[in-house]
Amino acid sequence: MNTLLYALFRALRSHRWLRLLACAFLFTSVGNGLTQVMVFGLLLDWQAPASLLTLAYLFAMLPGFVGSLVGERLCMRFSPIRLLVLTEWLGLLALLFPLMGIQYHSMVALLAVQSTEAFLAGMSWPALTLLFRRGLSEAELPAATCLETMIFASQVLLGTGLGMVLFHQLPALTLLGFDALTFVGSLLMLLLAGSALPSLAPGQAAETERPVAVHWQALAPQQKRSLLLLPALAAVGSPAMALLPALAQQIEPEDAAGLALPLLFARSLGQLCGPLLLKRESLPRYAGQNRLLLTCLGLFLFAYGTIPLLSGMQALGVVFIAHLASNIVFAVGTFSLLSSFQADQVSSASGRAWRWQTASASIFTCLTALIADVWGPLQALYGVSACALLIVVGTLRRYGR
C-alpha cells in the first residue's frame, strides 16, 4: 500500500483544507471538461478545418505563459488561496465567451474561452504548488503529486464523460449553465478551505516566508533537470495531442465528433491511471532514470503513430496506453519540481516550468499545424514528434544525474 493513491488518501485524512481544495478542483474539473466537450463538439459540427482544430489546442495553452508570469508575481503579494479564489471568479466571467459563440455562431469566441482558461490555469499553477509546499511535509509531497495529476486528468475525464452523454442530448446553453454551477461550487469550497488554513501542517513559519525568484545560473544540476522534465514532455506530447481531433476526422470522416469525444475520454482515463501505477518511494529514483522516461515517451509516440491504422474502438485502447505512459513522466516531473525547491522558491520555479512547458508545446504545435496543413496530420505527427524526442534525449543526457 505504498502507491501514490494511498499517499493521497492519508494526506486527505490528515488535512481538512486539502479535502476542501480537492473538492473545489473537482467542481472546476467537471466544468472545464464540459466546456471543452462543448467547444470541440461545436467546432467539429460546424466543420472547422483541421488546421483550426490543431490551433485550438494551441489557443488552449499559449496564454498560460502570460498567466504564469502574473501568478508568480501575485504570489509575492497575496496568499495562494486568495489567488485561487480570484482565478475562479475570472473563470466564471469567462463563460461569457462561449455564450457569445453559441448565440452568434462564432468560432473565435469559442477559441477565446479556451485561451482564457489557459491563462487562468497558468495563473493558478504557482499558487497551487506554493500551497502544497507550505501546507504539506516532505513525506507528504507524493500526495500533492497524485492530487495534481488527478486534477489534471479529471478536468477532461469527469467533464468529458458527462459531456459525451449530454452533448447531443441537451442544448449547449444548458451545458454552459452546468459549467457556471461548478464554478460556484468551487468558489464555495475554496472559501471554506481558506478558513481551514490556520490549521496547516508543520513548520507554519513557512507561511510567512516571502517567495523569491529563482535564477538558472544559481541552480544545481538536479534543479535544472526538474525544471526541464515537464517542458520535455510537452515537446513530445503536444503534436500528438493537438492532432487528436484531426486524426479522428481521418478515421471517421462521417462522424468525427462521435469518435473525437470518446478519444478525449480515453486520453484522460490514461492520464489518471498512469501515475497510480507508481509507488511513492520510487519517485525520487525514477526522476533520475533517463531510460524509464524515454521509454515512456517512446511508447507514447508509437501508440499515437498507429492510431490512423486502427478502427475506432482499437484507437481508444491505444490512446489510453499512450497517456498511461506519458503521465508517468508527468507525475515524476511534478514530484521532482516540488521536492527540488524550498517553499520560498517553489512558486517561482513552478511558474518558470509552466512557461517553458507552454513555450515548448506552442512551438511544436505551430510546426505541427503548418506541416499538417501541407502534408497531412499523419506526416506531421511522425516528423515533428520524432524531432522532439531527439531533442529530449540530448537534454536529459546533458542534465542527467
Query: Which residue segments constitute the domains of the chain, with CATH numbers given?
Result: 4-197+219-398 (1.20.1250.20)
User: Measured between alpha carbons, how far is 44 from 50 in angstroms, rounded to an integer?
Assistant: 9
Question: What pLDDT, on the 0 to 100 scale, is given for residue 204?
Answer: 43
The overall longest dimension of the chain from CA atoms, in Å, is 60
Query: Please, which pLDDT band fits residue 200 given cuts at 50, 70 and 90?
Result: very low
Based on C-alpha coordinates, what's the Rg of the chain? 20
Residue range 38-48: average pLDDT? 77
User: Measured between alpha carbons, how far is 373 from 148 in angstroms, rounded to an integer?
Assistant: 35
User: Measured between alpha carbons, how far is 154 from 307 in angstroms, rounded to an integer?
Assistant: 23
User: Measured between alpha carbons, how far is 355 from 118 in angstroms, rounded to an integer?
Assistant: 12
User: Measured between alpha carbons, how far is 293 from 297 in angstroms, rounded to an integer?
Assistant: 6
User: Measured between alpha carbons, how far is 230 from 336 in angstroms, rounded to an integer?
Assistant: 10
Whole-Å CA distances, 50 to 37, 45, 177, 362: 17, 13, 29, 17
Task: Identify residue 391 by its one-letter amino acid code.
Answer: I
Rounded percentage of the chain residues whose pLDDT exceeds 90: 6
Question: What pLDDT, on the 0 to 100 scale, is given for residue 202?
Answer: 42
Residue range 281-291: average pLDDT? 79
Phi/psi for 279 (5° steps) reads -95, 140
Whole-Å CA distances, 369 to 20, 108, 242, 249, 356: 40, 17, 8, 15, 20
Residue range 181-210: average pLDDT? 71
Query: Please, which pLDDT band fits residue 207 given cuts at 50, 70 and 90?
Result: very low
Rounded percentage of the chain residues whose pLDDT exceeds 70: 87
**Count of CB atoms within 10 A of residue 150's CB?**
22
| Residue with the larger pLDDT of the pair 73 and 168 | 73
Which residues, at least 6 apart from 305, have a Cβ–Cβ distance to it below 8 Å? 381, 382, 385
pLDDT over 50 at 203, yes or no: no
Which residues, at least 6 apart from 9, have a Cβ–Cβ distance to it below 8 Å? none
Question: What pLDDT, on the 0 to 100 scale, is given for residue 205?
Answer: 39
Question: What pLDDT, on the 0 to 100 scale, is given for residue 185?
Answer: 92
Q: Which helix H or strand E contains 281, and what residues bound it?
A: none
Query: Please, which pLDDT band fits residue 194 given cuts at 50, 70 and 90?
Result: confident
Q: Cell digits for 6?
A: 494511498
Question: What pLDDT, on the 0 to 100 scale, is given for residue 209?
Answer: 59
pLDDT over 70 at 80, yes or no: yes
Q: Are 150 and 11 in contact (CB under 8 A)?
A: no
Query: Please, which pLDDT band fits residue 4 given cuts at 50, 70 and 90?
Result: confident
Q: Going along 55-203, which residue ranges are E strands? A: none
The mean predicted confidence, pLDDT, of the chain is 80
